[in-house]
Structure 1
């Protein structure tokens, strides 16, 4: 574990020096501000865009519109931002040969994978929670209604889904030397799970439910017990994928 902790510190320092932390912070802070702001301004923007000759009837925006924009940003853009940043986290090290000296000096290869996974997932959680609380504050300021009673309930499934999505990215990065392989693997996995969700019998067990049913949880129209099978499958999948990434790196020529 000492070796893993050493590599975690190295990864955090590298994230800081490469401005990855800064990029993630800026992007997700913007997302946190943009959700409630867009919900508030969209009706006015549509009125101005329609011109004086057209009349568009729209209901007044609510806190639900703000949270819907938040989850849309996280699942359609935010999660891919992190996938791009961490896509080459292992393949880049292998192609540059930077792991050779560390491994020959006794650093276990599993420590490399574990450290990179922990740092990547930590940044995902930090970014998600930061954007969440910014969105929460602005939503409370703009929309003083009671239509979003369970805002926290909608958040933690997304946090758990990130554990698997990060693991997919790490696994993809361990497959080859291309810096884009991790990102492509994550995209393919996301598309596959989305298509799998078309079958109603597997929807409750599908990890993608953790990022598609958030608004139902926020509104209170769906109970968290409905997606618990998907939660456990997501956690198990993350563990398996990290283990497979360890095996890949273990047999990879550095």
Structure 2
């Protein structure tokens, strides 16, 4: 077995033992169910909380309401929980010094970073697909989804933005050798993107559009070509932070 596969197997085994796999399946399955469920019961709840005798004419929920819940809940809850779960991927081993033993036995430093990156992508993909397809299945059961446009493209935008935040977290985690460092860098990056979004011209390239544009994509209010530049900028940033993490770790004293 190659050192890369051996280290990947080690990472997977440790993630299972630390209940990351179980937590990922449970949490993101619940979020997937929550989206259509919330869309379905919201009108009934609002009617029940209205004063007696008041009339509230709410339209019947549609597939659009379910997916709007997806683009609200998944970035706000799912993405935050995922980053929190994997915010110690590097710092934990750097603090304990367990990587030193493996590196002295010939494991390349670049292998450590790329393996942890791929492990994070595997979990992010699992979390995303669970939420997406559970939402898709329940929404298809209750409503007609043919009214929606660019459904998979809109979902792909959120998926790529999640990879971007994870890569930034991994960089911060490695640079500061601390889970708090990784989280702080990620939070500061998101705040910076929100500040940049104040300027109207930034909408043409700001990666934050990958989170804000999907609800408009599925209604057809935004054309698919308008998301191309933010998508390319996010992809470039992912490569930049990944290479930066590898270069920094190659020079880091352990």
- How many angstroms does 1:253 deviate by? 2.2
- Tell me whether 129-138 or 157-166 shows the greater mean CA deviation: 157-166
**Number of equivalences:** 254
Instruction: Give the corresponding residue for 2:47.
Output: 47
- How many angstroms does 1:53 deviate by? 4.2
> Structure 2: which 5+ runs fail to align?
none
TM-score, length of structure 1 as denominator length: 0.95
Instruction: Give the corresponding residue for 2:128.
Output: 128
Q: Within 1, Cα distance between the matches of 2:145 and 2:77?
A: 28
- How many angstroms does 1:19 deviate by? 0.5
> Any idea what the Cα deviations from partners look like across 1:214-248, whole Å, max 9, x if unmatched?
11121222222111111111111111101111122
SS at match of 1:57: coil
Instruction: Give the corresponding residue for 1:71.
Output: 71
Instruction: Give the corresponding residue for 1:234.
Output: 234
- How many angstroms does 1:147 deviate by? 2.6
Q: 1:21 to 1:157 in 2, by over 3 A?
A: same
For 1:130-209, list aligned pairs within 5 A.
Answer: 130-144=130-144, 146-209=146-209
- How many angstroms does 1:47 deviate by? 1.1
Q: Within 2, Cα distance between the matches of 1:4 and 1:48?
A: 58
For 1:25-64, list aligned pairs within 5 A.
Answer: 25-64=25-64
- How many angstroms does 1:129 deviate by? 1.3
Q: Within 1, Cα distance between the matches of 2:28 and 2:85?
A: 14
1:152·1:218 contact (CA, 8 Å) conserved in 2?
A: no
Q: Within 1, Cα distance between the matches of 2:50 and 2:233?
A: 47
Q: Within 2, Cα distance between the matches of 1:4 and 1:236?
A: 25
Q: Within 1, Cα distance between the matches of 2:68 and 2:216?
A: 10
- How many angstroms does 1:145 deviate by? 5.4
TM-score, length of structure 2 as denominator length: 0.95
> Structure 1: which 5+ runs fail to align?
none
Instruction: Give the corresponding residue for 1:108.
Output: 108
- How many angstroms does 1:177 deviate by? 2.8
